Amino acid sequence: MDAEMMNGISLKKQKPLVLIDNKVYPSLEEEVITALNVLSKATEDTDEGFFLLVEGSRIDHAGHQNDPHAQVREVLAYDKAFKAVVDFADSTDVETIIVSTSDHETGGASVALQLSESYPEYVWKPDVLLNATKSGEYVTRKLASYKASSKKDLYHFIKTEILERDLGITDYTEQDVLNIVAPGANPHNILNKLVSDRAQIGWATHGHSAVDVNIYGYSNTENGKSLLYKYLGGNRENTEIGRFWEAITGSDYHKITNLLEGTIHHTVSAESLDDDAATELLGGFNEHDTLDPEYATFKAKVAEFKEHVEQLS
């Protein structure tokens, strides 16, 4: 098999969050293992080796949604994929260098959220995240799909199916339930906040933040480890990561940049859209910067649900 001609597509849309029941699509770990096996086999008789880029993209989406229980599960799924790469490096005698980082932080999450005006507790409660077995995205879809016969029926469904069963919340109040379906409310944000508050996790934004991100490196040779320490140890500017890969691969990034100059990328910014187009195309769960038709469908479903709630007695 020619590695240069291989393209594996397991689905036409974005990968479901880990906390959505997924019995169909491969995990990130499984995809990584498959890619490593194919690429190593395809290059075993050459001196060129291969370069593999892996993204845990749904970590970012959970951050945009301020969904702490979904985000931690996505991070753990990425950790499994990272371990698979490290295990691969340890299993080969070919020098392998691994770098893991992020292009930005999303959400600005922090622990020890102050819940009252009294002196704050220096604590957070991770068990709350473990108790939540479905993502905020999942439970919001579930709620929006429920055709309640009355407000009493709807409130009972929210209490038993959404809060208790899916989010593991049993200390909710009647006001919590009313807030979820209040006119003008965003049920997705409210459900995620119910979990965040109980875990004492605070969020700064539904967008990207200026929080520093970590750089992790690994190599199966002393030379590789030395290069990682030399180029990426300590505090670094993001551009230095690119310079690191340029140095060890012998690439010329100025030449590559010149080759890309003038390339037209067909993207659409939120600012370039009128209100109707923004509603149809942008449609992010929290108005973030992902242009995904699936988000627009999600928002339309929630809007339909809210209209249904207004008609209940």
**CATH number of the domain that 24 lies in?**
3.40.720.10
pLDDT score of 10 more than 90: no
In a domain, 174, yes or no: yes
pLDDT band at 299 (very low <50, low <70, confident <90, very high): confident
Contact present, 50 and 272 (Cβ < 8 Å): no
66 neighbors 107 (Cβ within 8 angstroms): yes
pTM, two decimal places:
0.85
And the tokens for 33?
A: 């293992």
* Same domain (yes/no): 41, 176: no
Q: What is the DSSP letter of 270?
A: G
Percent of the chain with pLDDT over 90: 65
What residues make up the domain containing 152? Answer: 110-202+268-311
| pLDDT for the residue numbered 21 | 63
- Short-list 50, 53, 34, CA closest to 42: 50
Check pLDDT > 80 for residue 9. no
Structure confidence by residue, pLDDT tens digits, 183-242: 889 999 999 999 999 999 999 999 999 999 999 999 999 999 999 999 999 999 999 999
User: Is 93 annotated among the ligand-binding residues?
Assistant: no
The verdict on residue 58 lying in a domain is yes
Q: Write out pLDDT tens, residues 82-104.
A: 999 999 999 999 999 999 999 99
DSSP string, 45-69: TSSS--------HHHHHHHHTT-HH
Q: What is the per-residue pLDDT for 17?
A: 85
The string of pLDDT tens digits covering residues 32-64 is: 999 999 999 999 999 888 999 999 999 999 999
Distances (CA, A) of 153 to 157, 300, 301, 304, 306: 6, 23, 19, 18, 15
**Is 161 in the same domain as 227?**
no
Tokens in use for 97? 């260098």
Q: Are residues 184 and 76 in the same domain?
A: no
Q: CB–CB of 108/203 below 8 Å?
A: yes
Q: How far apart are CA 299 and CA 282, in angstroms?
A: 10
Residue 85 and residue 27 in one domain: yes
Q: Is 254 annotated as a binding residue?
A: no
CB of 200 closer than 8 Å to CB of 113: yes
103 labelled binding-site residue: yes
User: So what's the pLDDT on residue 277?
Assistant: 46
pLDDT value, residue 293? 57
217 inside domain: yes
104 has binding-site annotation? yes
pLDDT of residue 279: 41
Phi/psi for 143 (5° steps) reads -65, -45
188 is in an annotated binding site: no
Per DSSP bridges, beta strands 216-219 and 97-100 are antiparallel
Claim to verify: residue 249 and residue 276 sit in the same structural domain = no
Is 244 a residue whose pLDDT tops 60?
yes
Which strand (E) or helix (H) includes residue 154? Answer: helix 151-157
Q: Mean pLDDT across the stretch 123-132?
A: 96
Residue 12 pLDDT grade (very low, low, confident, very high; cuts 50, 70, 90): low
Query: Which pLDDT does position 308 carry in this prediction?
Result: 80
What does DSSP assign to residue 281?
I
276 labelled ligand-binding: no
More confident residue, 46 or 158: 158
